[in-house]
């Protein structure tokens, strides 16, 4: 009986992680594919090839696309855009490596630290906030730049896609499943 319970627990654990990873990838793909001035946030694992350090960061889809253009020296053309999308979307685990220091800086590696995120997550119950957002299907908050990235990061990891209008900035907005 204990073996059966253990087996069922493992199956449930793996199915939850698979579903969760599918949702995170789906949100990532939506952010990478978005071409609007209203940019969606995504979370990626970035390896700095100069230091071999890997870090999870939040950035916007457009910023990731530009980073890929620059890192891989891809020209800005329809063919180049298709190549960038292919590189970004093949990363189901949202992991990418960069060597170019300017590219790494533009992604926002210096905007906040891992400890900044952990500190905010100790103060704010993001699990409850994510659940409330899912229930209401509506949410926004006016935040400073650093706080905005921290909230977007924490919410993304809980399956909540957010965006920011680059024209007006400062407001983090929930992006529902049907948002174009």
Query: Using the 8-state DSSP alphabet, how is residue 108 labeled?
Result: T
Distance of alpha carbon 163 from alpha carbon 88, whole angstroms: 19
Lowest mean pLDDT among 107-116, 134-143, 144-153, 159-168: 159-168
The pTM of this model reads: 0.85
Per-domain residue ranges for the chain?
Answer: 2-174
pLDDT tens, residue by residue, 12-28: 334 345 566 799 999 99
Classified as helix, coil or strand, 138 is coil
Taking residue 149's Cβ as centre, other Cβ atoms within 10 Å add up to 23
Distance of alpha carbon 59 from alpha carbon 40, whole angstroms: 9
Q: Which two tokens stand for residue 107?
A: 């992604």
pLDDT at 13: 39
Residue 90 scores a pLDDT above 90: yes
Residue 166 scores a pLDDT above 50: yes
Contact 171, 152 (CB under 8 A): no
Q: State which H helix or E strand residue 24 sits in.
A: helix 2-33
Q: Which two tokens stand for residue 137?
A: 């299907």
């Amino acid at each position: 009986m204990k073996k059966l319970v253990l087996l069922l627990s493992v199956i449930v654990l793996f199915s939850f992680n698979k579903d969760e990873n599918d949702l995170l990838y789906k949100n990532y793909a939506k952010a990478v594919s978005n071409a609007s001035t209203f940019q969606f946030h995504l979370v990626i694992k970035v390896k700095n090839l100069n230091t071999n350090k890997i870090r999870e960061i939040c950035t916007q889809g457009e910023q990731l696309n530009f980073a890929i253009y620059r890192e891989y020296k891809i020209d800005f053309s329809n063919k180049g855009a298709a190549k960038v999308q292919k590189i970004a979307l093949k990363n189901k685990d949202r992991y990418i490596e960069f060597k170019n220091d300017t590219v790494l800086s533009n992604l926002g590696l210096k905007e906040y630290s891992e400890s900044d995120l952990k500190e905010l997550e100790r103060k704010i119950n993001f699990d409850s906030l994510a659940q409330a957002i899912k229930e209401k299907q509506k949410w926004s908050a006016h935040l400073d730049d650093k706080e905005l990235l921290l909230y977007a990061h924490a919410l993304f990891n809980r399956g909540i896609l957010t965006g920011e209008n680059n024209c007006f900035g400062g407001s983090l907005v929930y992006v529902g499943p049907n948002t174009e």
